[in-house]
Amino acid sequence: MDFALNLLVFLIVVYTTLFSESPVLCATHGQLLTDKKLHPLASDHLVTNLPGQPNVDFHHYAGYITVNEENGRALFYWFYEASTLSDDKPLVLWLNGGPGCSSVGYGATQEIGPFIVNANGHDLSINPYSWNKEANMLFLESPVGVGFSYSNTTSDYDKLGDDFTVHDAYNFLHKWFLKFPSYRMRTLYIAGESYAGKYVPELAGLIQENNKDRSLHIDLMGILLGNPETCDAEDWKGLLDYAWSHAVISDETHNTIRESCDFYSNNTWSNKNCSQAVDEVLKQYNEIDIFSLYTSVCIASSAASKDKLLKLTYRSTSKMMPRIIGGYDPCLDDYAKSYYNKHDVQKALHVSEGHLIKNWSICNMDIFHGWKDSKDSVLPIYKELIAAGLRIWVYSGDTDGRVPVLSTRYSLSTLMLPINRSWRPWYHQKQVAGWIQEYEGLTFATFRGAGHAVPLFKPSESLAFFSAFLNGESLPLQR
């Protein structure tokens, strides 16, 4: 027995050494990565020969993590190690919102990942402002039904909501750590935008609660939220006030809303005057891009596709915020759809065991319409996380009409936090990048001239902001 055990240990050491120190050809189209270590338990998820990918000097992995064996529920991820000194940098989990939109299609390959899908839908370009310059970036498609994530149990799709999604994301993290054990004790931050304003604090709260069990401990240090949905009532008020203050709607429509809409009520839409006035707001926003008030919309190739991409919708049975299928630039969404529906791309990303999935979409609106539970407000969770000493930064692009800066300011004001450093501009490359206020336990900043997905509009500023967040540093306050 001792000989057998010693032999097994010897073989494991040899295997690990071979995979972690040998030069490899990894997703670089010929470039040797002689100084990079592989993760032996995740070698089957190593991405190689990704179509149209430029040369890089870091490893990246993609594939499925099964979060529920009994139901066959599996979440898809794409993980990029930091481009330099990956062993010394934290792990950041990124979640996009919707609910129902892809973190791979948006965050990873439109906003903050190292690759951007090109307009031809066939290849990728390097993103010079990728956040993996500062951290190891993990993008998760969540919940099942989003992107490539799936369940073999049909009834799972009838249960989707905040609680279901957050628990699956929590299980994902623990099982992902089994595949990447060197990250098990790494400092973790969770970041996201839009409806992830609900997911991220909820997941952070679950981690904090379960960390009472040392065997489940995750070294969560903070959360970062961009144009986040936070409190439904305040978010709605902010959306409508912003539309009026930016000349999207008339004084008459705004006055009707102020007089007839009670967004703290459980039957907001039962008031006919309120419903009709809100419909008028959404009608006007359908003429422009609600995610970016001052940029042009993409002229789609057909009227049908244009209507599908731009139609704004909300549920009259819910206070949940309105949705647009797609994101900041519908043309960017089209590029992503073309790329991720390619068989060779899916095969390189270890999707569905090489079988072609023909209907990948950047957002799944069926998920939104079937959403089972959504917290009216995550502000109570903010209070718990602040009390626990987590770093919390919130930012807003100030030309976003979807979750506008007013919504976030209204929501945060209800916390009544003491102000440590008052409202003032912050600078990037000697220009005003936005404004910032530091509260006791929370930092709020704006990005001047940015829409909903801030890194799309202000990539250099976003990277500098992200670096300051990770390092716990104040943003530059002078030119």
Q: What are the catalytic residues?
A: 194, 400, 452
Nearest to 61 by CA among 86, 85, 35: 86
The burial class, CB within 10 Å (0-12 / 13-18 / 19+), for 199 is buried
CA dist 434 and 458 (Å) reads: 11
The CA angle 179-181-183, to the nearest 5 degrees, is 110
Q: Are 115 and 38 in contact (CB under 8 A)?
A: no
Judge whether 116 and 53 are in contact, CB under 8 Å.
no
Contact predicate 93/178, CB 8 Å: no
DSSP per-residue string spanning 229-298:
--BHHHHHHHHHHHHHHTTSS-HHHHHHHHHH--TTSTTGGG-HHHHHHHHHHHHHHTTS-TT-TTSPPP
User: What CA–CA distance (Å, rounded) separates 40 from 181?
Assistant: 10
Q: How far apart are CA 226 and CA 455, in angstroms?
A: 10
Residue 225 CA to residue 190 CA, distance in Å, equals: 9
Rounded Cα gap, residues 479 and 475, in angstroms: 11
Give yes or no for a contact between 333 and 327, defined as CB atoms under 8 angstroms apart. yes
DSSP state of 46: B
What radius of gyration, in Å, describes the C-alpha atoms of the chain?
23
Q: At what angle do helices 196-210 and 379-387 cross, to 10 degrees?
A: 40
Amino acid at 450: A
Whole-angstrom Cα distance, residue 297 to residue 270? Answer: 33
Is the Cβ–Cβ distance between 32 and 25 less than 8 Å? yes
DSSP letter, residue 87: G
